[in-house]
Amino acid sequence: MKKGFNLSIIGTGYVGLTTGVGFAYAGHRVICMDIDKEKVAKINAGETPVYEPGLLEGLRDAKKKNLIEATDDLEYAITNSDITFITVPTPEKKDGSCDLSFVEQVSKDIGRILREKEGYHVVAVKSTVIPETTERVVIPNLEEYSGKIPGEDFGVCVNPEFLREGSALRDFLKPDRIVIGELNTRSGDILEMLHRDFGAPILRTSLKVAEMIKYASNSFLATKISFANEIGNICKRLGIDVYEVMKGLGLDKRISPHFLRAGLGFGGSCFPKDVNALIHKAETLGYEPRLLKEVMKINQRQPYRIIDLLRKRLGSIKGREIAVLGLAFKPDTDDIREAVSIKVVSELLKSGAEVRAYDPKAVFNFRKLFPNITYCESARDALKGSDACLVLTEWPEFRELTDEDFSSMRERIIIEGGKALNPNRVKGFEGICW
Ligand code: UDX
């Protein structure tokens, strides 16, 4: 018996494809739409355009059950579905604001198709959009291009995602909460029914509050990380380990142990972009967001602390061979967007050092930015003959490295950003915050 809703997902990046595969896994019929014909062909061939644990298997399983397909035909997607999720990108503009051009265009296109469509269709915004976007951009476009009455003839919701790269599918299927911002009760009821089997608390609220929950969540997590790094920088001067300190904080239920890992700062396609967008929005509203600005300043400076420490230990780094272990912005992803490694490698090259880099997944993406550095097949290979080693990403495989692996270095200077190495296997290394 076919169970579930007919869904369309517009935009098949991390969020869109994970949402599509996740809902298909939950038994709903999903049409993924993307203007990128290559991506569409890949998905229909049972391949995922991005590396994400479990996503490939999930896609192939859903295809076998005939619960997912991809198309570049928006009309086909909308007319064959009851609920459409907007998951197009909202990149950062030069001034730090949120670029809504894709959201603007897709809401016009969907509106045009809804003009001819029967039935009560719900449009749910899942892209990360700055507060007021759905009321000021999406709904007016849907109304104007469909000629229909919002709420009465079609529904609108904001349904932010909180998934992390590297654990996206798991986060989608086991969310801490589901937030539904609704234009009216009817829209909210439909989206609540869709999520009824997820077994997570469902928070129903207004469109603008739902948009703000997303930005405030990411900004708070970013603030926790910059706080941990600030404390970490003080601990380094005290000669104590910030992780020991954070263990003490984390036992306090009001603080929780999560997102207190000090290191080189946060990267990725979300935190930097979202905090900057909220800062920009606050300023347009005439408010000076001093805390958020400091969160970004601390984060901007943090990666360079590993270079400062390297200079302190090695002296001039000009002409030195530096092994760089880890390029991805975090483990379990091939994503290098806003990765701290970009800043660190740029600074090393600017200072005349030779870089021997290794990463289990992200070399393909990193080589596009840095074609002229040496890429090694393994961490052990990168260490050979190097004058120093910087560990930038906490890939689990780095915990397997031993003293013997580091004995191939010319000089034994080993500095880690986060906690990546195993002190039971390797002696004589240090961290920027311990
Ligand atoms: C983040 C949010 O976690 C997720 O809810 C949202 O939907 C998208 O943005 P993501 O960017 O994939 O997810 O990665 P996350 O695991 O949150 O890490 C972000 C950055 O913070 C990484 O660079 C990571 O290394 C860093 N980080 C994370 C720390 O430095 N310390 C921590 O304790 C946690």
287-327 tens-digit pLDDT: 999 999 999 999 999 999 999 999 999 999 999 999 999 99
The pTM for the full model equals: 0.96
Question: Closest Cα to residue 345, out of 310, 305, 307, 383?
Answer: 307
Helix, strand and coil in the chain, % to nearest 5: 45, 15, 40
- One-character DSSP codes across 358-397: E-SS-HHHHHHH-TTSEE-SSHHHHHTT-SEEEE-S--GG
Task: Name the residue with the closest Cα to ligand 1, atom 13.
Answer: 164
Q: How far apart are CA 230 and CA 292, in angstroms?
A: 14
Mean pLDDT (whole number) for 206-216 = 98
Centroid of ligand 1 to alpha carbon of 117 (angstroms): 40
Counting from 1 in the atom list of ligand 1, the atom nearest the Cα of 14 is: 12
Centroid of ligand 1 to alpha carbon of 164 (angstroms): 7
Q: How far apart are CA 426 and CA 433, in angstroms?
A: 18
Centroid of ligand 1 to alpha carbon of 366 (angstroms): 19
What is the three-class DSSP state of 213?
helix
What is the three-class DSSP state of 145?
helix
- The tokens describing 103, both together, are 């959201």
Counting from 1 in the atom list of ligand 1, the atom nearest the Cα of 229 is: 30
Mean pLDDT (whole number) for 202-210 = 98
Q: How far apart are CA 189 and CA 351, in angstroms?
A: 59
Centroid of ligand 1 to alpha carbon of 266 (angstroms): 7
The whole-number pLDDT of residue 146 equals: 98
Q: How far apart are CA 10 and CA 75, in angstroms?
A: 11
Q: How far apart are CA 80 and CA 1, in angstroms?
A: 19
Chain centroid to CA 317 = 33
The whole-number pLDDT of residue 51 equals: 84
Residue 50 pLDDT level (bands cut at 50, 70, 90) = confident
**Alpha helical stretches, state H, 5-100:** 14-25, 37-44, 55-64, 74-79
Counting from 1 in the atom list of ligand 1, the atom nearest the Cα of 168 is: 12
**What percent of the chain is modeled with pLDDT above 90?**
98
Pocket test for ligand 1, best of 330, 342, 392, 416 (most atoms within 8 A of CB): 330
CA distances from 35 to 87, 161, 312 (A): 12, 22, 50
Mean pLDDT (whole number) for 183-206 = 97
Q: Are 218 and 271 in contact (CB under 8 A)?
A: yes
Mean pLDDT (whole number) for 118-147 = 98
Is residue 1 predicted with pLDDT exceeding 50? no
What is the rounded (10 degree) CA torsion for 48, 50, 56, 60?
-20
CA distances from 212 to 37, 107, 129, 166 (A): 33, 20, 9, 24
Q: Are 125 and 159 in contact (CB under 8 A)?
A: yes
- The tokens describing 414, both together, are 């080993």
Burial class of residue 345 (count of CB atoms within 10 Å of its CB; 0-12, 13-18, 19+) = buried
Residue 180 pLDDT level (bands cut at 50, 70, 90) = very high
Task: Name the residue with the closest Cα to ligand 1, atom 1.
Answer: 164
Long-range contacts of 162-166 (CB under 8 A, 24+ apart): 162/214, 162/217, 163/14, 163/15, 163/18, 165/14, 165/52, 165/268, 165/269, 165/330, 165/332, 165/333, 165/335, 166/52, 166/53, 166/330, 166/331, 166/332, 166/333
Task: Name the residue with the closest Cα to ligand 1, atom 24.
Answer: 266
Residues with CB under 6 A from ligand 1: 161-165, 218, 221, 225, 259-261, 263, 266-268, 270-271, 329-330
Q: Give the residue numbers marked as catalytic.
A: 270
